[in-house]
Structure 1
């Protein structure tokens, strides 16, 4: 969610267009991945009657606990100049207890929109997110892929959805709504619903809006050397705002810097695709728990997500039409390389079986994601169609 100086990014990302095209041509998204590994027999049996579980066996490593403190959290940036707050091994699990809300935990029930807007204006170029990190992964180097398994996502009993005053130029329709607004919503974690109004209840689907690694050099304008805004998503994942990344899902992220350098923040109780007002139902988490698996030299070019029922392929670009085109091309490449079909057949299959949705339109770099259903594939083929 949120927005940084549009003029800076307009010029910079236009200049980056040629870089991005060369990057895509060189990486040939997903086409240069190594051959997929077979699933274990137990998983194969579990998948015979449906999409089934997506996990391959992975030895459990250590569990690390990373609290949110002044030493572990920064406002609105991925700062690769900082020493890692933690170094982990592949297979380790990280528990983040009592995460902070936006603006270093300043957003709390009862805080008015004017206060949040002033915090936004007072921190130009930065996102509102309370970003934990960096966390280094031992042995990670450019060309590797991190597999991030979301094991637990437990919110607090409140959330907030807001739009800034129109003068800030954030959200989809600032020209329509000059007045900012924030609504605090009580969350019933037993029923997993939020009371938006007395006669309107919203089902909850908690997820982490922002989780990524240090981005590649030159892809975003740095605020200072090694420091980039947490707002725009990209090939490093980051602020994807992909609501499908709920508990039990997996995110695969290309590694661009030694150690990978993991950052996370921006906790959500639920979000509609598009996130049009600017925010999801923003909250804190009682705990975020993830497991990190390192895959060596897989050459993934863009983040890919996976659930028990779908593979989810991303398209990200400042222009929404370009993001849609990229999502389509990436989905076609994914199907051609995984299902071993021609790109023309993959093109046709996307048209009749994949669902393309607008992820968000408020992070400058807009997102489209393609949902590819696992259930359409025969079980023996489905078992072979792994991301890495």
Structure 2
């Protein structure tokens, strides 16, 4: 869906997207293999060495009473938005803004983008030009097969304009704060992890008065990492640690 023009959104600012609800429209989804999945997996040298074939296959997964049925196995229904972003800049950094993630968001495939979460995205163009799609009924970290349980859905969002300037996407929920960074444009996965934690440390300093070195130390002790697809990573920390640490007076 999109691009959606957000009134009042200007370059250098951000938009705050509250994910209110995600509803399946047909009561089922599917995980499947395709040419994309094959490339996604066979980039791993050991698989090429083993000479594994990659058959085309689809599994239909029904969604019933809060569960996703995978070959008779009952899994929890945990809907999420795989792709959500603003129009990128420079446009040349993205082959397609809805396929390759970056500072604008895009195809991050993070299970954290679910009902009850907020996504803060930078604005690079007038009106932000918000878009979203690629909804999943359930997905594990890494989405290693290249697809999850893909499903058509109706999504309810609330979007506000913020004057805050953010370098990379931020995701918030009742328990955690996290920053997202991605590979691409010369950045390795290791670079993305470092960037995400550095952005988180800067936020901790700004919002909680925790100096950056102490913040990185704290992240080294209780921080977590979520991997979306193999291009996006979220560095996260629980709010309770920030509140408790800040209250001790360990400030800059």
Same-fold call, TM > 0.5? yes
Q: Distance in 1 between matches of 2:220 and 2:162?
A: 31
Counterparts of 1:122-133 in structure 2 under 5 Å?
132-133=1-2
Distance 1:177 1:277 in 2: 14
Largest Rg, 1 or 2? 1
Task: Give me the TM-score of the superposition, normalised by structure 1.
Answer: 0.57
Q: Structure 2 residue aligned with 1:163, among 6, 23, 33?
A: 33
2:161 matched to 1:294?
yes
Show CA shifts across 1:142-162 (max 9, x none): 011100011111113111112
Partners of 1:291 and 1:167 in 2: how far apart? 33
Matched-pair contact (CA < 8 Å) for 1:166–1:178: no
- The alignment status of 1:149 with 2:18, answered yes or no, reads yes
Say if 1:165 and 1:177, in contact at 8 Å, map to a contact too.
no
Give the equivalent residue in structure 1 for 2:220.
351
- In structure 2, the CA distance between the partners of 1:377 and 1:326, relative to structure 1 (3 Å rule), is closer
Whole-Å separation in 2 of the counterparts to 1:291 and 1:257: 20
Post-superposition offset of 1:381: 5.5
In the TM superposition, residue 219 of structure 1 has moved relative to its aligned partner by 4.7
Uncovered stretches (5+) of structure 2, i.e. residues with no partner:
248-252
What is the correspondence of 1:214-293 to structure 2 with a 5 Å cutoff? 214-221=87-94, 228-285=96-153, 287-293=154-160
Aligned CA-pair RMSD: 2.2
Whether the 8 Å CA contact 1:165–1:178 is kept in 2: the answer is: no
State the Cα deviation string for residues 192-224 of structure 1 (Å, max 9, x = none).
1111122x21111101111111101245255xx
Cα pair distance change 1:248/1:303, threshold 3 Å = same
How far did 1:167 drift? Answer: 9.1
Contact 1:315 1:368 in 2 (8 A): yes
CA offsets 1:36-93 (integer angstroms, 9 cap, x no match) = xxxxxxxxxxxxxxxxxxxxxxxxxxxxxxxxxxxxxxxxxxxxxxxxxxxxxxxxxx
Could you tell me how far apart the structure 1 residues matched to 2:122 and 2:94 are?
Answer: 20
Report the secondary structure of 2:22's partner residue.
strand
For normalisation by structure 2, the TM-score amounts to 0.86
Partner of 2:83 in structure 1? 210
Quote the residue 1:34 is aligned against: none
Per the TM alignment, residue 171 of structure 1 is displaced from its structure 2 partner at its CA by 3.9
Is the Cα–Cα contact under 8 Å of residues 149 and 249 in structure 1 kept in the other structure? yes
> Offset at 1:351?
0.7
Question: SS of the counterpart of 1:161?
Answer: strand
Q: CA deviation at 1:282?
A: 0.4
How far apart, in 2, do the equivalents of 1:307 and 1:180 lie?
37
Query: Structure 1 residues 336, 300: CA separation in 2 closer, same or farther (over 3 Å shift)?
Result: same
Measure the CA separation in 1 of the matches of 2:75 and 2:131.
Answer: 29
CA separation of 1:229/1:294 partners in 2, compared to 1, >3 Å: closer, same or farther? Answer: closer
Alignment partners' CA distance in 1, 2:199 and 2:167: 10
Distance 2:155 2:28 in 1: 16
Cα separation, 2, equivalents of 1:257 and 1:313: 21
Contact 1:269/1:281, CA 8 A, preserved across alignment:
yes
Worse-superposed segment, 163-172 or 331-340: 163-172
The answer for unaligned runs of 5 or more in structure 1 is 1-131, 223-227, 383-388
Q: Give distance in 2, aligned partners of 1:218 and 1:166.
A: 23
Q: Does 1:201 align with 2:74?
A: yes
Does structure 1 conserve the Cα–Cα contact (< 8 Å) formed by 2:82 and 2:135?
A: yes
